[in-house]
Amino acid sequence: MEERNQFSEEKYLDFNRLLDQYRTKNVPPWVLRERAFFASLNFRKGINWHSHSALLAIRVQEDKCWIANENLANEIYDPFVLSDIRGFDRAKLYLEARVEELAKEYWESSYSLGDYLNLELENLKNYDEEVLIFHDIEPKDIQCLMVITDHKKFTPESWQKHYANLLL
Identify whether 38 is part of a domain.
yes
Q: How far apart are CA 166 and CA 63, in angstroms?
A: 45
Cα 25 from chain centroid (whole Å): 22
Identify whether 144 is part of a domain.
no
* Domains of the chain: total: 1
Cα dihedral 26, 39, 81, 104, rounded to 10, equals -10
pLDDT in tens, 119-141: 887 777 888 899 999 999 999 99
pLDDT in tens, 104-120: 999 999 999 999 999 88
Asked if residue 5 has pLDDT above 60, the reply is no
Domain that includes residue 126, residue range: 2-42+61-137
Q: How far apart are CA 27 and CA 33, in angstroms?
A: 11
Share of the chain above pLDDT 70, in %: 93
Task: Let me know: does 126 contact 70? Beta carbons within 8 Å.
Answer: no
Task: Among 8-22, 41-55, 129-143, 152-166, name the one with the lowest average pLDDT.
Answer: 41-55
Q: What mean pLDDT, rounded, does the chain reach?
A: 90
Identify whether 165 is part of a domain.
no
Identify whether 28 is part of a domain.
yes
| SS3 of residue 41 by DSSP | coil
Identify whether 15 is part of a domain.
yes
